[in-house]
Amino acid sequence: MEKKELDRVLDTLIIDGIRKEAEQDNADFENAMLHISDENFHKVVKRVPRIKVRKFRPWIYSMTAAAAIICAVIIPSYNAMNDRLCESALVAYGDYITPAKGAFDISTATVEQIEARLPEMEAEYIKAISDEDLRDTGWNLSIAYLKLHDKSKAIDILKILSERFKGTPFGTECGNMLKLLD
Amino acid sequence: MEQDEYTLIVSRFYENLARPFMNFIRSKFQSLQADEIEDIYSQVWMDVRENIKKGKVEKNTTWKSYIFRMGMNQANNLVSRRPSIHSIDVRTDDSDTFNPIIFEVEKKQMGNSELTIYSDPETQEVLARELSCIPEPCNSVLKYYYYESMSMREIAAAMNYSGESTAKVTKKRCQDRLKDRVLKVIRQLGIID
Protein backbone atom coordinates (compact mmCIF):
# COMPACT_ATOMS: atom_id res chain seq x y z
CA MET A 1 0.00 0.00 0.00
CA GLU A 2 1.34 3.45 -0.90
CA LYS A 3 2.23 5.75 2.00
CA LYS A 4 -0.29 8.36 0.90
CA GLU A 5 -3.05 5.79 0.72
CA LEU A 6 -2.05 4.29 4.07
CA ASP A 7 -2.11 7.76 5.64
CA ARG A 8 -5.59 8.35 4.32
CA VAL A 9 -6.87 5.04 5.68
CA LEU A 10 -5.27 5.59 9.06
CA ASP A 11 -6.61 9.12 9.28
CA THR A 12 -10.11 7.89 8.56
CA LEU A 13 -9.76 5.08 11.09
CA ILE A 14 -8.47 7.45 13.74
CA ILE A 15 -11.10 10.10 13.14
CA ASP A 16 -13.83 7.49 13.18
CA GLY A 17 -12.44 6.03 16.39
CA ILE A 18 -12.22 9.45 18.07
CA ARG A 19 -15.80 10.21 17.07
CA LYS A 20 -17.10 6.85 18.33
CA GLU A 21 -15.34 7.19 21.64
CA ALA A 22 -16.57 10.74 22.14
CA GLU A 23 -20.06 9.66 21.14
CA GLN A 24 -20.01 6.98 23.85
CA ASP A 25 -18.81 9.49 26.46
CA ASN A 26 -21.51 11.87 25.32
CA ALA A 27 -24.24 9.23 25.65
CA ASP A 28 -22.93 8.15 29.07
CA PHE A 29 -22.99 11.76 30.19
CA GLU A 30 -26.55 12.33 29.01
CA ASN A 31 -27.69 9.15 30.72
CA ALA A 32 -25.92 10.10 33.95
CA MET A 33 -27.43 13.61 33.89
CA LEU A 34 -30.84 12.07 33.46
CA HIS A 35 -30.52 9.63 36.36
CA ILE A 36 -28.29 11.35 38.89
CA SER A 37 -30.21 12.29 42.06
CA ASP A 38 -30.86 15.97 42.81
CA GLU A 39 -28.77 15.73 45.95
CA ASN A 40 -25.75 14.28 44.17
CA PHE A 41 -26.11 16.70 41.27
CA HIS A 42 -26.10 19.72 43.56
CA LYS A 43 -23.06 18.36 45.35
CA VAL A 44 -21.27 18.23 41.99
CA VAL A 45 -22.20 21.72 40.85
CA LYS A 46 -21.62 22.99 44.39
CA ARG A 47 -24.69 25.12 44.34
CA VAL A 48 -28.34 24.93 45.29
CA PRO A 49 -31.12 26.37 43.13
CA ARG A 50 -31.68 30.07 43.69
CA ILE A 51 -34.58 31.18 45.83
CA LYS A 52 -36.98 32.93 43.54
CA VAL A 53 -37.76 36.55 44.30
CA ARG A 54 -41.29 36.37 43.05
CA LYS A 55 -43.46 34.17 40.95
CA PHE A 56 -45.93 35.21 38.31
CA ARG A 57 -49.40 33.92 38.79
CA PRO A 58 -50.21 31.38 36.10
CA TRP A 59 -53.07 33.41 34.77
CA ILE A 60 -50.73 36.16 33.60
CA TYR A 61 -50.62 34.00 30.50
CA SER A 62 -54.24 34.61 29.86
CA MET A 63 -53.92 36.93 26.92
CA THR A 64 -57.60 37.81 26.84
CA ALA A 65 -57.61 39.03 30.44
CA ALA A 66 -54.43 41.00 29.90
CA ALA A 67 -55.69 42.56 26.68
CA ALA A 68 -58.93 43.61 28.39
CA ILE A 69 -57.07 45.33 31.22
CA ILE A 70 -54.63 47.02 28.85
CA CYS A 71 -57.40 48.33 26.60
CA ALA A 72 -59.29 49.69 29.58
CA VAL A 73 -56.28 51.71 30.63
CA ILE A 74 -54.24 52.43 27.51
CA ILE A 75 -56.86 54.55 25.80
CA PRO A 76 -57.74 56.97 28.61
CA SER A 77 -54.13 57.43 29.66
CA TYR A 78 -52.51 57.63 26.24
CA ASN A 79 -51.68 61.34 26.31
CA ALA A 80 -51.10 61.72 30.02
CA MET A 81 -47.88 63.00 31.54
CA ASN A 82 -45.06 60.70 32.68
CA ASP A 83 -46.21 60.38 36.27
CA ARG A 84 -49.69 59.68 35.14
CA LEU A 85 -48.43 57.12 32.66
CA CYS A 86 -46.44 55.35 35.32
CA GLU A 87 -49.43 55.26 37.63
CA SER A 88 -51.64 54.02 34.79
CA ALA A 89 -49.25 51.21 33.99
CA LEU A 90 -49.19 50.25 37.64
CA VAL A 91 -52.98 50.22 37.75
CA ALA A 92 -53.19 48.18 34.57
CA TYR A 93 -50.71 45.64 35.82
CA GLY A 94 -51.62 45.87 39.50
CA ASP A 95 -52.93 42.35 39.59
CA TYR A 96 -49.71 40.99 38.12
CA ILE A 97 -47.52 42.58 40.74
CA THR A 98 -47.58 39.71 43.16
CA PRO A 99 -44.74 38.99 45.57
CA ALA A 100 -43.66 35.50 46.52
CA LYS A 101 -44.35 34.53 50.09
CA GLY A 102 -41.81 36.25 52.34
CA ALA A 103 -40.19 38.22 49.50
CA PHE A 104 -40.07 42.03 49.23
CA ASP A 105 -43.62 43.07 48.43
CA ILE A 106 -43.29 45.61 45.63
CA SER A 107 -47.08 45.88 45.36
CA THR A 108 -47.54 47.39 48.83
CA ALA A 109 -44.11 48.98 49.39
CA THR A 110 -43.96 52.72 49.96
CA VAL A 111 -41.80 55.03 47.88
CA GLU A 112 -39.33 55.27 50.77
CA GLN A 113 -39.13 51.50 51.09
CA ILE A 114 -38.53 51.12 47.36
CA GLU A 115 -35.85 53.82 47.35
CA ALA A 116 -34.07 52.05 50.18
CA ARG A 117 -34.29 48.70 48.41
CA LEU A 118 -33.52 49.95 44.89
CA PRO A 119 -29.72 49.42 44.83
CA GLU A 120 -30.23 45.82 45.91
CA MET A 121 -32.90 45.29 43.27
CA GLU A 122 -30.64 46.77 40.58
CA ALA A 123 -27.81 44.48 41.67
CA GLU A 124 -30.09 41.43 41.61
CA TYR A 125 -31.19 42.34 38.11
CA ILE A 126 -27.65 42.79 36.82
CA LYS A 127 -26.53 39.52 38.39
CA ALA A 128 -29.51 37.52 37.12
CA ILE A 129 -28.30 34.81 34.78
CA SER A 130 -31.15 32.41 34.14
CA ASP A 131 -34.19 33.46 32.15
CA GLU A 132 -36.38 32.95 35.18
CA ASP A 133 -34.25 35.18 37.41
CA LEU A 134 -33.98 37.80 34.70
CA ARG A 135 -37.75 37.79 34.24
CA ASP A 136 -38.46 38.11 37.97
CA THR A 137 -35.82 40.67 38.88
CA GLY A 138 -36.38 42.69 35.70
CA TRP A 139 -40.11 42.84 36.21
CA ASN A 140 -39.75 43.86 39.88
CA LEU A 141 -37.23 46.54 38.96
CA SER A 142 -39.40 48.01 36.21
CA ILE A 143 -42.33 48.19 38.67
CA ALA A 144 -40.05 49.86 41.22
CA TYR A 145 -39.01 52.49 38.65
CA LEU A 146 -42.63 53.08 37.74
CA LYS A 147 -43.55 53.58 41.38
CA LEU A 148 -40.72 56.09 41.62
CA HIS A 149 -42.07 57.73 38.42
CA ASP A 150 -38.78 57.08 36.63
CA LYS A 151 -40.40 56.27 33.31
CA SER A 152 -37.24 56.21 31.18
CA LYS A 153 -35.49 53.64 33.37
CA ALA A 154 -38.62 51.49 33.47
CA ILE A 155 -38.77 51.66 29.67
CA ASP A 156 -35.10 50.62 29.38
CA ILE A 157 -35.73 47.50 31.43
CA LEU A 158 -39.00 46.67 29.69
CA LYS A 159 -37.33 47.00 26.28
CA ILE A 160 -34.69 44.47 27.29
CA LEU A 161 -37.30 42.12 28.73
CA SER A 162 -39.62 42.38 25.75
CA GLU A 163 -36.73 41.69 23.38
CA ARG A 164 -35.29 38.86 25.48
CA PHE A 165 -38.67 37.16 25.94
CA LYS A 166 -39.97 37.92 22.46
CA GLY A 167 -42.59 35.42 21.37
CA THR A 168 -43.58 34.46 24.93
CA PRO A 169 -46.65 35.71 26.83
CA PHE A 170 -44.37 37.52 29.26
CA GLY A 171 -42.50 39.25 26.44
CA THR A 172 -45.81 40.34 24.97
CA GLU A 173 -46.89 41.76 28.33
CA CYS A 174 -43.68 43.77 28.53
CA GLY A 175 -44.25 45.01 25.00
CA ASN A 176 -47.79 46.01 25.88
CA MET A 177 -46.61 47.86 28.94
CA LEU A 178 -44.05 49.67 26.79
CA LYS A 179 -46.81 50.77 24.46
CA LEU A 180 -48.71 52.01 27.46
CA LEU A 181 -45.77 54.09 28.59
CA ASP A 182 -44.93 55.43 25.16
CA MET B 1 -25.76 1.76 36.66
CA GLU B 2 -25.62 2.99 40.25
CA GLN B 3 -25.91 6.52 41.64
CA ASP B 4 -22.17 6.50 42.40
CA GLU B 5 -21.35 5.86 38.76
CA TYR B 6 -23.68 8.60 37.55
CA THR B 7 -22.13 11.00 40.05
CA LEU B 8 -18.63 10.04 38.93
CA ILE B 9 -19.43 10.58 35.24
CA VAL B 10 -21.15 13.93 35.86
CA SER B 11 -18.46 15.05 38.29
CA ARG B 12 -15.63 14.17 35.89
CA PHE B 13 -17.35 15.97 33.05
CA TYR B 14 -18.01 19.01 35.26
CA GLU B 15 -14.42 19.25 36.49
CA ASN B 16 -12.82 18.60 33.10
CA LEU B 17 -14.89 21.17 31.29
CA ALA B 18 -14.62 23.93 33.91
CA ARG B 19 -11.25 25.36 32.85
CA PRO B 20 -11.90 25.28 29.06
CA PHE B 21 -15.29 26.90 29.73
CA MET B 22 -13.72 29.71 31.79
CA ASN B 23 -11.09 30.27 29.07
CA PHE B 24 -13.69 30.21 26.35
CA ILE B 25 -16.02 32.75 28.00
CA ARG B 26 -13.18 35.01 29.16
CA SER B 27 -11.79 35.18 25.63
CA LYS B 28 -15.10 36.60 24.39
CA PHE B 29 -16.21 38.63 27.43
CA GLN B 30 -13.18 40.23 29.00
CA SER B 31 -15.29 42.45 31.26
CA LEU B 32 -16.66 39.47 33.18
CA GLN B 33 -15.09 38.60 36.52
CA ALA B 34 -13.98 35.06 37.36
CA ASP B 35 -16.78 34.58 39.91
CA GLU B 36 -19.35 35.73 37.37
CA ILE B 37 -18.10 33.16 34.86
CA GLU B 38 -18.20 30.50 37.58
CA ASP B 39 -21.80 31.49 38.29
CA ILE B 40 -22.61 31.19 34.59
CA TYR B 41 -20.97 27.77 34.48
CA SER B 42 -23.07 26.49 37.39
CA GLN B 43 -26.22 28.00 35.95
CA VAL B 44 -25.56 26.43 32.55
CA TRP B 45 -25.27 23.04 34.25
CA MET B 46 -28.56 23.55 36.06
CA ASP B 47 -30.19 24.49 32.75
CA VAL B 48 -28.62 21.57 30.89
CA ARG B 49 -29.91 19.13 33.48
CA GLU B 50 -33.37 20.66 33.40
CA ASN B 51 -33.44 20.49 29.60
CA ILE B 52 -32.31 16.85 29.62
CA LYS B 53 -34.86 15.90 32.28
CA LYS B 54 -37.67 17.65 30.43
CA GLY B 55 -36.59 16.13 27.13
CA LYS B 56 -36.05 19.61 25.68
CA VAL B 57 -32.93 18.59 23.78
CA GLU B 58 -32.32 17.49 20.25
CA LYS B 59 -31.23 13.97 19.51
CA ASN B 60 -27.45 13.55 19.19
CA THR B 61 -26.66 16.80 20.99
CA THR B 62 -22.92 17.13 21.55
CA TRP B 63 -22.84 18.26 25.16
CA LYS B 64 -19.54 20.04 25.40
CA SER B 65 -20.23 22.43 22.55
CA TYR B 66 -23.81 22.80 23.82
CA ILE B 67 -22.49 23.90 27.23
CA PHE B 68 -20.05 26.35 25.61
CA ARG B 69 -22.80 27.88 23.50
CA MET B 70 -25.23 28.15 26.38
CA GLY B 71 -22.49 29.87 28.35
CA MET B 72 -21.92 32.32 25.51
CA ASN B 73 -25.61 33.20 25.41
CA GLN B 74 -25.85 33.68 29.16
CA ALA B 75 -22.67 35.77 29.26
CA ASN B 76 -24.01 37.87 26.41
CA ASN B 77 -27.29 38.41 28.26
CA LEU B 78 -25.41 39.47 31.35
CA VAL B 79 -23.08 41.86 29.54
CA SER B 80 -25.82 43.37 27.39
CA ARG B 81 -27.66 44.54 30.49
CA ARG B 82 -24.73 46.57 31.71
CA PRO B 83 -24.58 50.23 30.81
CA SER B 84 -22.20 51.35 28.03
CA ILE B 85 -20.90 47.88 27.30
CA HIS B 86 -22.02 46.52 23.99
CA SER B 87 -22.93 42.91 23.66
CA ILE B 88 -20.97 40.85 21.20
CA ASP B 89 -22.09 38.66 18.42
CA VAL B 90 -22.36 35.16 19.85
CA ARG B 91 -22.79 33.44 16.54
CA THR B 92 -20.19 30.76 16.19
CA ASP B 93 -17.48 30.97 13.63
CA ASP B 94 -18.03 28.09 11.26
CA SER B 95 -14.87 28.54 9.24
CA ASP B 96 -12.31 25.78 9.51
CA THR B 97 -14.71 23.38 11.17
CA PHE B 98 -14.78 19.64 10.69
CA ASN B 99 -17.69 18.52 8.54
CA PRO B 100 -19.07 15.19 9.83
CA ILE B 101 -21.35 14.70 6.83
CA ILE B 102 -18.50 14.80 4.32
CA PHE B 103 -16.50 12.53 6.60
CA GLU B 104 -19.29 9.94 6.78
CA VAL B 105 -19.50 9.88 2.97
CA GLU B 106 -15.73 9.37 2.65
CA LYS B 107 -15.79 6.70 5.34
CA LYS B 108 -18.53 4.83 3.53
CA GLN B 109 -16.56 4.94 0.28
CA MET B 110 -13.52 3.60 2.09
CA GLY B 111 -15.55 0.85 3.74
CA ASN B 112 -16.59 -0.35 0.30
CA SER B 113 -13.02 -0.51 -1.00
CA GLU B 114 -10.70 -3.46 -1.05
CA LEU B 115 -8.50 -2.17 1.73
CA THR B 116 -8.37 -4.99 4.26
CA ILE B 117 -6.66 -2.92 6.95
CA TYR B 118 -9.78 -0.79 7.25
CA SER B 119 -11.97 -3.60 8.49
CA ASP B 120 -9.25 -5.69 10.13
CA PRO B 121 -10.36 -6.56 13.71
CA GLU B 122 -6.79 -6.52 15.03
CA THR B 123 -6.28 -3.00 13.69
CA GLN B 124 -9.52 -1.94 15.34
CA GLU B 125 -8.30 -3.40 18.62
CA VAL B 126 -5.00 -1.54 18.41
CA LEU B 127 -6.82 1.64 17.60
CA ALA B 128 -9.27 1.25 20.48
CA ARG B 129 -6.38 0.73 22.89
CA GLU B 130 -4.50 3.78 21.62
CA LEU B 131 -7.60 5.95 21.67
CA SER B 132 -8.37 5.07 25.27
CA CYS B 133 -5.13 6.64 26.46
CA ILE B 134 -4.66 9.81 24.41
CA PRO B 135 -2.84 12.28 26.67
CA GLU B 136 -4.04 15.84 27.25
CA PRO B 137 -4.25 18.29 25.55
CA CYS B 138 -4.53 15.99 22.51
CA ASN B 139 -7.59 14.17 23.85
CA SER B 140 -9.57 17.41 24.25
CA VAL B 141 -8.34 19.08 21.06
CA LEU B 142 -9.12 16.06 18.84
CA LYS B 143 -12.55 15.51 20.37
CA TYR B 144 -13.48 19.19 20.25
CA TYR B 145 -12.58 19.23 16.58
CA TYR B 146 -13.81 15.87 15.31
CA TYR B 147 -16.81 15.30 17.55
CA GLU B 148 -17.98 18.65 18.94
CA SER B 149 -17.38 20.32 15.53
CA MET B 150 -15.80 23.33 17.19
CA SER B 151 -13.84 25.71 14.99
CA MET B 152 -10.11 26.22 15.46
CA ARG B 153 -10.81 29.66 16.90
CA GLU B 154 -13.18 28.16 19.47
CA ILE B 155 -10.70 25.44 20.36
CA ALA B 156 -7.95 28.03 20.79
CA ALA B 157 -10.20 30.00 23.15
CA ALA B 158 -11.12 26.92 25.22
CA MET B 159 -7.53 25.70 25.45
CA ASN B 160 -6.20 29.19 26.17
CA TYR B 161 -3.93 29.15 23.08
CA SER B 162 -2.61 32.36 21.58
CA GLY B 163 -4.57 31.86 18.37
CA GLU B 164 -6.19 29.47 15.96
CA SER B 165 -2.88 28.65 14.26
CA THR B 166 -1.62 27.19 17.56
CA ALA B 167 -4.78 25.10 17.79
CA LYS B 168 -4.25 23.91 14.21
CA VAL B 169 -0.61 22.96 14.80
CA THR B 170 -1.49 21.18 18.07
CA LYS B 171 -4.29 19.22 16.43
CA LYS B 172 -2.04 18.16 13.55
CA ARG B 173 0.80 17.18 15.88
CA CYS B 174 -1.57 15.16 18.10
CA GLN B 175 -3.09 13.35 15.15
CA ASP B 176 0.29 12.59 13.60
CA ARG B 177 1.61 11.20 16.89
CA LEU B 178 -1.45 9.02 17.30
CA LYS B 179 -1.12 7.81 13.74
CA ASP B 180 2.58 7.00 14.26
CA ARG B 181 1.77 5.00 17.39
CA VAL B 182 -0.98 3.02 15.66
CA LEU B 183 1.21 2.42 12.61
CA LYS B 184 4.10 1.22 14.74
CA VAL B 185 1.92 -1.33 16.58
CA ILE B 186 0.18 -2.67 13.47
CA ARG B 187 3.60 -3.07 11.81
CA GLN B 188 4.91 -4.94 14.85
CA LEU B 189 1.88 -7.22 14.72
CA GLY B 190 2.56 -7.86 11.03
CA ILE B 191 -0.83 -6.50 9.93
CA ILE B 192 1.01 -4.45 7.30
CA ASP B 193 4.56 -4.53 5.99
Residue A149: count of CB within 10 angstroms of its CB: 15
A62 to chain B, any CB pair closer than 8 A? The answer is: no
Residue A121: count of CB within 10 angstroms of its CB: 20
pLDDT of residue A70: 53
Please report, rounded to a whole number, the percentage of residues in chain B having pLDDT higher than 90.
41
Whether the pTM exceeds 0.90: the reply is no
Inter-chain residue contact B47 with A130, CB threshold 8 Å: yes
Distance between B85 CA and the closest CA of chain A, angstroms = 13
pLDDT of residue A47: 55
DSSP for residue A53: S
Distance between A29 CA and the closest CA of chain B, angstroms = 6
User: Of how many residues is chain A composed?
Assistant: 182
Check if the beta carbon of residue A6 is closer than 8 Å to that of residue B192. Answer: yes
Please report the residues numbered 10 through 39 in chain B whose beta carbons come closer than 8 angstroms to any beta carbon of chain A: 10-11, 13-14, 36, 39
Q: Work out the burial of residue B168: count CB atoms within 10 Å of its CB; fewer than 13 is exposed, 13-18 middle, 19 or more buried.
A: middle
pLDDT of residue B72: 92
Nearest to A18 among B36, B107, B142 (CB): B142
The least confident of A89-93, B12-16, B27-31, B64-68 is A89-93
- Measured between beta carbons, the chain B residues lying within 8 angstroms of A40 are 3, 6-7, 10
- Measured between beta carbons, the chain B residues lying within 8 angstroms of A34 are 52-53
B160/B153 Cα distance (integer angstroms): 10
Please report, rounded to a whole number, the percentage of residues in chain A having pLDDT higher than 70.
68
Check if the beta carbon of residue B145 is closer than 8 Å to that of residue B64. Answer: no
B191 to chain A, any CB pair closer than 8 A? The answer is: no
Inter-chain residue contact A12 with B53, CB threshold 8 Å: no
Does residue B82 register a pLDDT over 70?
Answer: no
Average pLDDT over every residue of B120-146: 88
DSSP for residue A58: G
Q: Best interface-test mutation with A: which of B48, B127, B149, B178 has the largest number of A CBs within 10 A? A: B127
User: Of how many residues is chain B composed?
Assistant: 193
Q: Best interface-test mutation with A: which of B43, B85, B110 has the largest number of A CBs within 10 A? A: B43
Distance between A71 CA and the closest CA of chain B, angstroms = 30
Contacts of B11-18 spanning 24+ positions with Cβ under 8 A = B11/A44, B13/A29, B13/A32, B13/B63, B14/A44, B14/A45, B14/B45, B16/B140, B17/B64, B17/B67
| Confidence bin at A67 (pLDDT 50/70/90) | low
* ipTM for the whole predicted complex goes beyond 0.90: no
Check if the beta carbon of residue B159 is closer than 8 Å to that of residue B137. Answer: yes
B70/B61 Cα distance (integer angstroms): 13
Query: If you average pLDDT over every residue of chain B, what do you get?
Result: 85
pLDDT, tens digit, for every residue of A116-171? Answer: 888 888 888 877 777 777 888 888 888 888 888 888 888 888 888 888 888 887 88
- Apex A176 CA angle, A174 and A179, nearest 5: 110
A36 to chain B, any CB pair closer than 8 A? The answer is: yes
